[in-house]
Amino acid sequence: MMILFPVSLDPSRDDAFGLALEIARSRSAGIRILYVVDREGIEDLGAGAPIGAIHMAGDAEEEITRRESSAGSEIVAGLCKRCKDAGVPFTADVKAGDPRDEIEKEAARCDLLVAGFDSQYSFHRQDKPGKLVLALMKERIIPIVLAASPHRPVRTVVVACSGNPHQVRAVGAMARLGLWKGDCRLILLAVDGSSSEGEARLAESRRILQDAGYPPWEEKIVQGPKVEAIGGFCKEAGAEAVVLGGWGKHHWDEILGKSVTGHFLSKKRHHLFLYM
């Protein structure tokens, strides 16, 4: 198993890397560290330069690229040292190019991407926090784990079971990777006013975990509005991580934070495993 860690420009990257290390140790996995200098963003600085200043703008772009590459190398060196200290195998690279393109290329060769909720990759941090990694998840390029800050070791994981295809695929991706298999408390949770309907929501996730050889887990059916019921249960259970499906058909609910996934994305209190 190979974990991709695209180095973000925001300060939460150190906490996110702590979770990447934790997962790597538990699964005997390696980490691929990638720092991308946003060459296109740097070039945009000189796009409006007058004709006589184009050469000077080009020199400035090269200097900024060298400076950003040097800064990235220092950051990557620090992360490599953390891998060595933790006994986690790793590879690392600093590249100049389009962050989306370079990260997507690496994602195609990895199994899981770990980043912070507020990860940013464009020059001067002009991109919307978290947008790039969420786009990779929504396009089913790679499962992602969004790390909350400050870092909390994962001891309890809640799998929110709606029974819909996005949620079932998320559990399937988690099970294929063997995440949180036997090294923490795992709870399958359904929200329904009917016990029989709740059991139906749990059924497919239960089958996936059984087929993957997960040790005994807990199951719970609760009642109430989904967002409040799942959020309240996670708080009561002391969960550090939540497994959720990605965007469903109610896209605007996700944006407004009215769905379960949208709610947890907006709160940023738990580590989230997401897949479509």
Indicate if 72 and 124 belong to the same structural domain.
yes
Say if residue 9 is in the same domain as residue 129.
Answer: yes
Closest CA to 180 of 138, 139, 221, 145: 145
DSSP code of residue 214: P
pTM confidence score = 0.93
pLDDT tens, position by position, 59-108: 689 999 999 999 999 999 999 999 999 999 999 999 999 999 999 999 99
Helix (H) or strand (E) holding 149: none
- Is there a single domain that holds both residue 133 and residue 171? no
The CATH number linked to 244 is: 3.40.50.620
- For 139-180, list the strands marked E by DSSP: 144-147, 156-160
Q: What is the pLDDT of residues 55-68, one digit of tens each?
A: 445 568 999 999 99
pLDDT reading at 256 higher than 70: no
Whether 243 has a pLDDT exceeding 60, the answer reads yes
Range of the structural domain that residue 95 is part of = 2-147
133 and 182 together in one domain: no
**How many structural domains compose the chain?**
2
Tally the C-alpha atoms within 13 A of residue 146's C-alpha that lie toward its C-beta. Answer: 28
Examine the fold and report which residue of 88, 120, 147 is the final residue of a domain before the chain moves on: 147
Least confident range from 41-45, 160-164, 239-243: namely 41-45
Do residues 228 and 110 both lie within one domain? no
Range with lowest mean pLDDT among 29-33, 42-46, 172-176? 42-46
Listed residues 113, 147, 181: the one ending a domain: 147
Q: By C-alpha distance, which of 242, 159, 175, 243 is closest to 208? A: 175
| Per-residue pLDDT band at 26 (split at 50, 70, 90) | very high
**Same domain flag for 107 and 40:** yes
Same domain, 75 and 202: no
How high is the mean pLDDT of the chain? 92
Residue 218: its pLDDT value, please? 98
Does residue 163 share a domain with residue 119? no
Check whether residue 41 and residue 125 sit in a common domain: yes
Looking at the fold, whether 143 and 170 belong to one and the same domain comes out as no
